[in-house]
Structure 1
Amino acid sequence: MITVDSAGELTERVGTVLGHSGWVTMPAERIAAFGALTGDEHWVHVDRERAKADSPFGDVLAHGFLLLSLVTGLANECYEVRRAERWTNYGLDRVRFTAPVTPADSLRLELTLDSLEETTTGFRLVLGCLLERQGSDRPAMVADWIVLITEGDSR
């Protein structure tokens, strides 16, 4: 994990990998709970028996938005800005779900710092997010995530 006092200290790391998270699994129960929470309870996500019988993937599939929702927590394993008082999720420029994820998969985040810009209130980071699947050359998801950081005095 990379730890800095101010986001400005990351300038030298633009264009590089900030870090990798630990591996996480995607149990069928988590996939089903996300479906219940969001109202997306299509059988391909929640009915394991039918998915095993009728899906080419052999099991239920994780929702794309479930994969996307992992990014914040996994990014916290990659870098820390000590003086950050507020992190604002400004949005995404690009998101692609590039491979199916089943409960058999383990995932981790590779986080790159694509750009860093100082603003009047702090810093604007564009983070390249690659959700890797263990044992596969094809990632589950790629995204460009924009984060605004407002800093205070050292803690």
Structure 2
Amino acid sequence: MRIFERLEELESLIGQEIGVSDWIAVEQPRIQAFADATEDQQWIHTDPARAAAGPFGATIAHGFLTLSLLPRFYQTAFRVEEVRMGLNYGLDRVRFPAPVPVGSKLRGRFVLRKLEAIDGGVQMMVEVTVEREGGSKPVCVAESLTRQMR
């Protein structure tokens, strides 16, 4: 984890990687829990026997499950000590270039793209690239907007 004392330390890092998260395992119970929570029970996610004969040879995680892991990736990639609260402000461009087969390990790489002063803190736009251990392509690339409040 990369630790910054103050938000001002980030100003000179626009365009640079500011953190890399720990790995997270994506196993079938997590995929099933997400399917249950979202009511997306498509067989490619929830039926291991049928998915074994499908295009990926196993179940795969929902793209939105991968996206929903962004807050967890943030927690282990970097933090700013003076920030008392971070708020998810939304997403810009989001893509899922490759599938996440069951049993995969994922992590996020964070590149700071924009930093804008707002009342009480800053708004950050961070490009998050989620990679799969052993994969040749990212499984998700998203522009994440957060507000870091002092």
For Structure 1 versus Structure 2, the TM-score category normalised by the shorter chain is: over 0.9
Q: Which runs of 4+ in 1 moved over 4 A?
A: none
Taking the TM superposition and a 5 Å limit, the aligned residue runs for 1:54-65 are 55-65=54-64
- Partner residue, 2:51: 51
Over the aligned positions, Cα root-mean-square deviation in angstroms equals 1.1
* Post-superposition offset of 1:106: 1.5
Structure 2 length-normalised TM: 0.95
**Could you tell me whether the CA contact under 8 Å between 2:22 and 2:77 is conserved in 1?**
no
The match for 1:150 is: 149
The unaligned stretches of length 5 or more in structure 2 are none
For normalisation by structure 1, the TM-score amounts to 0.92
Structure 2 counterpart SS, 1:77: helix
Check conservation: 1:52, 1:58, Cα contact below 8 A.
yes
Q: 1:120 Cα shift?
A: 2.3
Partner of 1:97: 96
In structure 1, list runs of 5 or more residues that go unmatched: none
Give the 3-state SS of the residue equivalent to 1:84 in structure 2. coil
Deviations 1:53-75 (A, max 9, x none): 2x110111101111011111111
User: What amino acid maps onto 1:3 in structure 2?
Assistant: I
Q: Distance in 2 between matches of 1:88 and 1:130?
A: 19
AA partner of residue 93 (structure 1): D
Superposed displacement of residue 104, structure 1:
3.2
For 1:107-126, what per-residue CA distance to the aligned partner results, in whole angstroms no more than 9, with x for missing partners? 11111111111122210100
Structure 1 residue 42 displacement after superposition = 1.0
1:9-49: CA deviations, max 9, x gaps?
21111111112112221101110111001110111110000
Is it true that 1:11 corresponds to 2:3 in the alignment?
no
Identity %: 37
The residue that corresponds to 1:106 in the other structure is 105
Who is 1:35 aligned against?
Answer: 35
Q: How far 1:129 moved relative to its partner?
A: 0.4
